[in-house]
Structure formats: structure tokens, C-alpha cells
Structure 1
């Protein structure tokens, strides 16, 4: 966990403050630090399981960052492409960047991280459900804080009306439920690699479409 935290902190120091990836990175760094503290202080009954899931989850985001830096935004998974493509758009607000990143990471990466953790730990998804729920509870608790911190204040209400409508249409709870269902389906398809790949590509594209909608310029 310390290694992924160090990479996120390095990104936080290197990226411009208003860069869309930097906005998401700050949010995700806070989430990962919170998870790390909870694991260290006994917040998870099976610390090794929780850490395996959390670290594998974080590495998928960091891999997208590295791929974009090396090969450009078109090379990253479809779910991440909108965030990297529009990361400097003047009409996109910080809250949109944060939610687009969370959408990509929860909607796509989390399902794949669960499946990878099951392979690494030699267990079924059901064995990870309690840790999955605890990770999700941490994310949900932080989502409200993120919205409050990044949503424009009352003095900008007229400008923010389209933003309020846009971000209100997305739900972390629904994204988390979808990720769990996708993970279970992918695990069930592990004996049919062609079908699993087809489903993963479809999941990636669908999450990317939602991300593009979340990044609709509002000013």
C-alpha cells in the first residue's frame, strides 16, 4: 500500500493543480490514505485480503496514468479516456473531473480488481464481499465530502444549475452495485475467456460513455 501511496503523492506534487487528472488524484489519494489507516487499525477483519484488493484496485488507475504519459490518451482504457482527453478543458469543473475518475475506477476497474484478487488469493468473490462493502462504505462517505468541497457555492448557483443536474444523475451506490455484479459475472465466465473478454470490453466502453457525459462542459 505504501508504494501506491508514494506514487499518488508524487503525482500530486508533479501535476498542475487544475489538471483534471490532478483533481481526481487528490480525491483518490485521500480515499487510499483512509483505507490504509482503516486496514492498519483493524477496520478490516482480514487485512491481507483488504490490502490485496485495495492495492490491485489502485494499480489499475496508476497504470492508466503511465499509459497516457507514454502513449497518449487514446491508448488508455475507454473508461479513462474522457478524463485524460478533457483534463484541461476550460469549461469542465473540478467536481466533474473527480466524479469522472471515480466513475471509471469504480465502474470498470473495481470489478477487474475483485477478479484479480480472487485469483491471487485462491478464493471465490463471496469471500471478498465483506471487504468490498467496507471499501465501498469508505468511498460513499467521502463522496458527499467531495461534492460539498468541489461544488460551486450559492453565489454561483445560476452558473451551476447545469452542473447540479449533470452530477445528480450519477450515483456511486449504483456504480458500486454494478461493479459487484460485473465481478461476479466475470468470475462465472472465467472458463470462457472469449466471452469474458467481450463482456470486459463492453463494460469498459459503457463506463467510458458515462464518463464522457459527466465531463460535458457546463460553462
Structure 2
């Protein structure tokens, strides 16, 4: 397994840390190649690969590109640890379980998978990654705040593109209003604002390990509940079920665990 979370030194330039992003991109591409395209994890993974490649291409636009390269690498490491846990038939964190457990469900639409993965990664993994990055670099969260919020526009653009690409046609939307309602209840801006609030709480608790651990556990569970709500099956009918059944068969033939 490529180690992506062991960056401990950073200069004023992003070059060294950017190699960590290169490793993340290679790993995300390998995951994409190993999964059937309609697998729920594959749907999220493709979107996350796009985000990571975009961040890598735009590192120079940040105030502190080296720190952002480290953050991006540490952040990705948490998703990759969840992937590795499932591959080893261990349980991933609670926030990731809905996506991995429902990844081949015939009545969950691909856009649900994309947003559930974003929710788990942003609302749980991101605050932990920011705190870890601050500790590694000897920074305060406020020193990263400008770049943290600057990336919102990038993520919002990717999310909008994904929604447009994956959104079902009007015939499905007319029949399944709950999908429209569910997707409208989640936004990347709100998720990142909530994540930043969690950063501030975790940073204040850094000298109290037991309290920080309790908060982290509660956050993990709460985000998992949200993910399960986003992934509630919609009952899209026999055609969708047949198509998703083919994807499940491909998944089983690949030798990768489905939950």
C-alpha cells in the first residue's frame, strides 16, 4: 500500500508535499480501475480523483501551497484507510459504513453515492485532517483558514458538475420527489462550515485526549447517520434493479468485498 499520510516536513515550496498528492492520485486511479463503474464506492472515488487532480493543478493559487499539499495528502489518507479496512474485511469508521454497505444496492442512485461519500469525507475526515496537519506543521488552524475557505469554490464547482452529470432525467425526478428533496438538503458549503466548527472544537480539546476522543466518536456516528439518510433506497423499479444486479455480479467477480 502506498503510504500517503507520513509527510512530516514542509518547506516554503509545495514540491516535496506535492509528491504525496501524486501518490494519492495513483492510488485513486488504481481503485477506479479495480471497481465496476456503477459501484457506489467507484462513483465517489471518481469524483474524489477529480477534486484531488484539480487541487494538485492549482496549488500555486493558495497562500500556503506547501501546507495545502500536506493537508490534501493527510485528508486523502483517511479515505484510503477506510478502503483498506474494507479490503481486509475489517469495519471502516462509522461515517463510511453506509457507502460501503450499500455500494451495490439496486435502488440507490449514483448521485446519492457521490454526496454520501462527500459527506463522510468532509464532515468527519476533514476536521481530523486539519488538526493533524496543524500539529505536524506547528500551525494554528487560523493560519490555514484562508486557504481552507478558498477551496470551497473549487469543491462547489466539482459538486455542481457531478450533480449535473449524474442527476436522473425529469421522468425519474417526477416519480421520485424524495430524491430531489434529499439532494437539496445537503451542500458542500454547509458541510465545510460544519467541518471547520469541528476543527475549532477538536483544537480546543487537543490537551484533553479523552474528551477529544469522545467528540470524535460522536462525530463519526452522527455523520454515519447522515450518510445512511442520503443513501435511503428510492425504489427505482425493475430496470434499475436489473442494471444494478449486473454491477453486483461484476463486483463479486472482481474479488473485492462489497461491504
Q: Distance in 1 between matches of 2:25 and 2:159?
A: 20
Partner of 2:230: 214
**Alpha-carbon distance change, 207 to 85 in structure 1, aligned in 2, over 3 angstroms:** same
Scaled by the length of structure 1, the TM-score of the pair is: 0.96
Within-5 A mapping of 1:89-104? 89-104=105-120
Q: Distance in 1 between matches of 2:55 and 2:226?
A: 26
Q: Distance in 2 between matches of 1:54 and 1:104?
A: 15
Q: Alignment partner for residue 40 of structure 2, among 8, 20, 25?
A: 20
**Deviation of the 1:45 alpha carbon:** 2.1
Q: Which moved more, 1:30-39 or 1:147-156?
A: 147-156
Partner of 1:129: 145
Partner of 2:169: 153
**Deviation of the 1:180 alpha carbon:** 0.3
Q: Distance in 2 between matches of 1:37 and 1:159?
A: 40
Q: Alignment partner for residue 44 of structure 1, among 62, 79, 94?
A: 62
Q: Alignment partner for residue 183 of structure 1, among 194, 199, 210?
A: 199
1:80-125 deviation per Cα after TM superposition (whole angstroms, max 9, x unaligned): 0000000000000000000000000000000000000000100110
Partner of 1:111: 127
Q: Distance in 1 between matches of 2:109 and 2:157?
A: 21
Q: Distance in 1 between matches of 2:147 and 2:173?
A: 39
Q: Distance in 2 between matches of 1:128 and 1:212?
A: 31
Partner of 1:53: 71
Unpaired runs of 5+ residues, structure 2, are 1-20, 236-259
Scaled by the length of structure 2, the TM-score of the pair is: 0.81
| Poorly superposed stretches of 4+, deviation over 3 Å | none
Equivalent position SS for 2:87: helix
Unpaired runs of 5+ residues, structure 1, are none
Q: Distance in 2 between matches of 1:158 and 1:176?
A: 30
Q: Which has the larger radius of gyration?
A: 2
CA contact (8 A) 2:173 2:179 kept: no
**Deviation of the 1:135 alpha carbon:** 2.4
Tell me how large the CA RMSD over aligned residues is.
1.0
1:24-44 deviation per Cα after TM superposition (whole angstroms, max 9, x unaligned): 0000000000000001xx211
Q: Distance in 2 between matches of 1:139 and 1:152?
A: 21
Is 1:11 aligned to 2:31, yes or no? yes
**Deviation of the 1:187 alpha carbon:** 0.7
Q: Distance in 2 between matches of 1:12 and 1:159?
A: 31
